[in-house]
Amino acid sequence: MSDNKLKRSKSNAVIAGVCSGLAKYFGWDAGRVRLVYVLLSILSAGFPGTLVYIVLWVVMPSD
């Protein structure tokens, strides 16, 4: 049984650790996840991306 749970990362956090937690969960590079997130947020006029980040910040437990 795997212990791979979705959690915010405190050790690799820039703001709240949401992107680094997602990267760790999926086995991706945190820098690339942040870059893709920022690009998607800019292309969607910023608000939906910010809202999703805040929701994930509240919902995701910290490691």
Phi, psi of 22 (to 5 degrees): -65, -40
CA-based R_g, the chain, Å: 12
Confidence (pLDDT) at 46: 63
The per-residue pLDDT string of the chain (63 residues; one tens digit each, 9 = 90 and over) reads 456 788 888 888 888 889 999 999 999 999 999 999 988 888 887 678 888 889 999 998 888
% pLDDT > 70, the chain:
94
pLDDT at 33: 92
Containing structural domain, residue 41: 1-63
The whole-chain average pLDDT of the chain stands at: 86
Number of independent structural domains in the chain: 1
